[in-house]
Structure 1
Amino acid sequence: MARRAGRSRGRGAVTVRIDGIARLRDRMHELGPDIIEALARAVKESAEAVRDETARTVPRAGGHLAETVDIQYEDGGLAAKVGWSDPTSYYAHFVEHGTRRAPAQPSLGPALEAERARYTARLSDEVRRALR
């Protein structure tokens, strides 16, 4: 479902990636457009849930992380990266993972874990609706 992105490409980027078709990528040509749209809806719902929960729980003191958590969609909406990619949010990594002097105050990780349990159900529900 989701995985934490490795080291950031851009300075300060902290993201997770939510894939809607990891196991189906090789068989996409067999799926109808209704199923693909259903998968994209489920990915969007999950990405928005992770974004909203992260924004709700991120520490507010001294920053603007709640306002800059973002979603970037890829693969026609079948994959999403959720997190901070804005260069002014470079410190999100330090807040999320902590430093020698400051304890970690994670918000993205817990939001991802909370959504992980709902993600499969979202996918199944959307596909069932599309098949009706």
Structure 2
Amino acid sequence: MEIKVIGADKLEKKLKDLASMEKVKNAVRLNGSELQQGAMQYAPVKTGNLKQSIRLQIRDSGMEAAVHPTADYAEYVEFGTRFMEAQPYLLPAFEVQLPIFRADLKRALED
């Protein structure tokens, strides 16, 4: 009796690709969470509403993380107005997180 498996190498490659995609999704989720925490840390606090309104959404089956405040005045704080200086909190958090995300993503794709 002989058993022959056809396409085992294709299956193995597919399983490795799926494992890599799961590592990428984990990196996206982790870095999205860290970006959210960083934005909350940088957010100026008067009442705490802006800080507490910063949300994380995982989209596109885990391939995208969106961090955004829901407070209706959030843009004015980030960019300022003609009456108020900008108090950036999202951009500084993003600038800190970006190189960390790139390194995590590179590591996930190399494994």
The TM-score with structure 2 as length reference comes to 0.80
**For residues 70-114 of structure 1, what are the alpha-carbon distances to aligned partners after superposition, in whole Å with 9 as ceiling and x for unaligned?**
111111110111111x3xx01000000001111000000110011
Higher helix share: 2
CA distance in structure 2 between the partners assigned to 1:77 and 1:68 by the alignment: 22
CA distance in 2, matches of 1:55, 1:63: 10
Q: Greater Rg, structure 1 or structure 2?
A: 2
Task: Indicate which of 9, 15, 24 corresponds to 1:39.
Answer: 24
Report the Cα distance in structure 2 between the residues aligned to 1:32 and 1:125, rounded to whole angstroms: 14
Equivalent pairs, count: 98
For 1:1-132, list aligned pairs within 5 A: 32-84=17-69, 86=70, 89-128=71-110, 131=111
Partner of 1:11: none
Uncovered stretches (5+) of structure 2, i.e. residues with no partner = 1-13
Aligned partner letter, 1:64: N
CA RMSD after TM alignment: 1.8
Q: 1:127: Cα distance to partner?
A: 3.2
**Amino acid aligned to 2:95:** E
Gap regions ≥5 residues in structure 1: 1-28
SS in 1 for 2:47: coil
| Greater relative CO (CA pairs within 8 A, separation 6+) | 1
Alpha-carbon offset, residue 62 of structure 1: 3.2
2:11: which partner in 1? none
1:67, 1:117 → 2: CA distance? 25
